[in-house]
Amino acid sequence: MSASLEIQLIAVVVAVTCALPGVFLVLQRMSMMSDAISHAILPGIVIAFFITGNLSSPWIILGAAAGGLLTVALVEVLRKTGLLKEDAAIGIVFPALFSVGVILIAQYAGDVHLDIDAVLLGELAFAPFDRITMGGMDLGPRALLVMGVILVVNVVFISVFFKELKLISFDRALAGALGFAPALLHYVLMGLVSVTAVGAFDAVGSILVVALMVAPPASAYLLTDGLKPMIVVSVVIGAVSAVAGYWVAHWLDASIAGAMASMSGVLFLSILILAPHRGLWSVQKRRSNQALLFGRKMLVIHLYNHEGLPEAQHECRMDHLEDHLRWDHAFASRAIRSSLQNDYILQQGPHLSLTETGRKYARSSLVEL
């Protein structure tokens, strides 16, 4: 396999692995927890590194998971004091833990691979050079294998506990009342977020992990109506961000991880604007259509109320609408045009009159009111 293909494959696996637990973070309104965990795993990694002296040891992953769970537990402890809210608790806990990690690196690990740049941003381009061999046989890039294992763990966990995860995400109290141990599941989920973060950390660094955990699920949330479709769409968006990011980075000669995160942001922004039902454009269009519909109704009812009366000559003039109904010219013209198209009114010079259809529409609208 070529290096280019391997990097893309790693990128896709990383993005997909992050998107899976990300769905539940986004749904439980805990997106910021991914930020906290991805930073707070650092001291866990550093301490595990000091103990084992080896960055590729599985202890590193366990150390990271411990760091992540410590964050979740500390946030919970602070929140339970009732003295500060969860966001403030997160904002206090993770910088504290992260800074401990940074100081440990600066003091004791100045000469190893654990430098700050790599920690924050990761470097996907070098991933193919770090390979795992067994008995002289090349098994593939380490990042791919590690992340592949974590992906399988995430997929298995979410498939097996799908029903339970859905319940704790939607209604924690009911989950507790039915005996589904929501606190335990929550910690397992957060443990997986930590493990995923440490796995992805090598490839994309601790900051960009957050983008990959939050942006694809947040995009999928705008596009889908069910939990399963949301998971599938998150995974697809994550994979697309990864591949697109790789080629953008290739083209700009820039950081692959940075380009992946940017692409996930670009995709989110496009979906935010263009999503069929919940997108900004569609919402705007719906509002404007409703306004026009309402304008048409008002116009027809206005004409109906004054029909046949002495003041009709005056009340039913086009320019009068702008004065009396306080409509601006553009909206008045739109309402008139649309009423003409619907065959509700007739226009003779500046005078407007109702058609039979228009009269019927006015009567039925008045009944609705």
Partner 1 sequence: MDYAIDIRDLTVAYREKPVLWDVDLQVPPGVLIAIVGPNGAGKTSLIKSSLGLIKPAAGSVLIHGRPYSEQRSTVAYVPQRGSVDWDFPTNVLDVVTMGLYGRLGWFKRPGKSERIEALKSLAQVGMEEYATRQISQLSGGQQQRVFLARALVQDANVYFMDEPFQGVDATTERAIVELLQNLRKQGKTVAVVHHDLQTVPEYFDHVMLLNVRRIASGPVEEVFTEDNLRTTYGGRVAFVSALSAARKQ
Q: Residue numbers of the site for partner 1 (CB under 8 A)?
A: 27, 29, 82, 160-164, 166-167, 169-171, 173-174, 176-180, 221, 224-227, 229-230
Least distance CB 35 / partner 1 (angstroms): 21
Between 114 and 271, CB nearer to partner 1: 271
What gap in Å lies between CA 28 and CA 15, rounded to an integer? 20
Q: How many alpha carbons fall within 13 Å on the CB side of residue 229?
A: 8
SS3 call for 82: coil
What gap in Å lies between CA 211 and CA 260, rounded to an integer? 9
Least distance CB 177 / partner 1 (angstroms): 5
What gap in Å lies between CA 205 and CA 235, rounded to an integer? 20
Between 11 and 223, CB nearer to partner 1: 223
Whose CA is closest to 17, among 121, 132, 146? Answer: 146
Could you tell me the sign of the dihedral formed by the alpha carbons of 20, 26, 27, 28, in that order?
A: positive
Least distance CB 51 / partner 1 (angstroms): 36
Label the pairing between strands 131-134 and 137-141.
antiparallel
Q: At 23, list the tokens.
A: 């769905």
Least distance CB 220 / partner 1 (angstroms): 9
Between 137 and 173, CB nearer to partner 1: 173
Between 222 and 316, CB nearer to partner 1: 222
Whose CA is closest to 345, among 334, 355, 337, 332? Answer: 355
Least distance CB 290 / partner 1 (angstroms): 16
Whose CA is closest to 34, among 200, 235, 240? Answer: 200
Q: At 319, list the tokens.
A: 């320019």
Between 44 and 182, CB nearer to partner 1: 182
What gap in Å lies between CA 108 and CA 156, rounded to an integer? 38
Between 32 and 132, CB nearer to partner 1: 32
Between 5 and 84, CB nearer to partner 1: 84
Burial 150-167 (b: 16+ CB within 10 A, else e): bbebbeebbeebeebbbb
Least distance CB 296 / partner 1 (angstroms): 25
Between 167 and 275, CB nearer to partner 1: 167
Least distance CB 176 / partner 1 (angstroms): 5
Q: At 193, list the tokens.
A: 């977020």
Burial (0-12, 13-18, 19+ Cβ within 10 Å), 141: buried
Least distance CB 280 / partner 1 (angstroms): 16
